[in-house]
């Protein structure tokens, strides 16, 4: 029995000493840190994703327009996503893609309008319980391409309109 405890202790020491490496490998496989760790990821809410969303970091507000352009009988969705300035209504970044209704994650490569920079937007939905009440949070993760100095950014998205906007640049 003591041999088993020694082996288990050695395993735990090695595991915790290399935890950062394992966590990083796990994050690379799963697409980044789980931004809402106290919740459970749920199937993507395709029926309620259309609209205008805002993410806040305390100082700034980031506005996103998300719309399902087309959905077919096989469950594929064509989605357009835009980041825009709410004051000037200028389009800042946009992207799109095709996604299955079975996907739990919406991934869109966003192309910045006035630069060569691109970033990956990852949108997920989480169910969580607070004070005995179950709620759902929609979360966006921003991953910058080609700049390892920047960490992923995570924001809770709040819906401000069920009606998506139409930007001429997207047509």
Asked if residue 95 belongs to a domain, the reply is: yes
Query: ∠ at Cα 146 (142, 150), nearest 5°?
Result: 50
Mean pLDDT of 152-157: 88
Domain hosting residue 23, numbered range: 1-30
Are 74 and 116 in the same domain?
yes
Are 71 and 24 in the same domain?
no
pTM: 0.73
The band of 160, judged by pLDDT with boundaries at 50, 70 and 90, is very high
Which pLDDT score, from 0 to 100, does residue 57 have? 83
CATH of residue 117's domain is 2.40.128
Are 55 and 113 in the same domain?
yes
Asked if residue 13 belongs to a domain, the reply is: yes
- For residue 153, pLDDT over 70 is answered with yes
Domain count, the chain: 2
Are 50 and 74 in the same domain?
yes
Are 66 and 124 in the same domain?
yes
pLDDT tens for 12-68 read 333 333 333 333 433 343 444 445 566 888 888 888 899 999 998 888 899 999 999
Looking at mean pLDDT, say which of 7-16, 80-89, 100-109 comes out highest.
Answer: 80-89
Are 10 and 39 in the same domain?
no
Query: ∠ at Cα 147 (146, 148), nearest 5°?
Result: 110
Are 72 and 146 in the same domain?
yes
Per-residue tokens: 26: 């796990």
Least reliable range by pLDDT among 9-23, 94-108, 109-123: 9-23
Which pLDDT score, from 0 to 100, does residue 92 have? 94
Are 53 and 130 in the same domain?
yes
Asked if residue 101 belongs to a domain, the reply is: yes
């Amino acid at each position: 029995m003591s041999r088993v405890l020694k082996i288990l202790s050695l395993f735990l020491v090695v595991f915790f000493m290399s935890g950062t490496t394992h966590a990083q490998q796990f994050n690379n496989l799963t697409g980044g840190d789980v931004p809402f760790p106290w919740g459970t990821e749920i199937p993507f809410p395709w029926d309620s994703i259309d609209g205008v969303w805002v993410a806040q970091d305390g100082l700034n507000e980031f506005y996103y327009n998300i719309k399902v352009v087309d959905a077919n009988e096989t469950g594929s969705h064509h989605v357009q996503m835009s980041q825009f300035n709410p004051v000037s209504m200028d389009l800042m970044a946009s992207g799109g893609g095709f996604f299955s209704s079975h996907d739990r994650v919406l991934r869109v490569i966003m192309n910045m309008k006035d630069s060569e920079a691109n970033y990956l937007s990852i949108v997920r939905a989480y169910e969580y319980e607070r004070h005995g009440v179950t709620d759902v949070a929609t979360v966006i993760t921003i991953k910058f391409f080609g700049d390892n100095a920047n960490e992923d950014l995570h924001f809770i998205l709040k819906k401000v309109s069920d009606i998506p906007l139409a930007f001429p640049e997207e047509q």
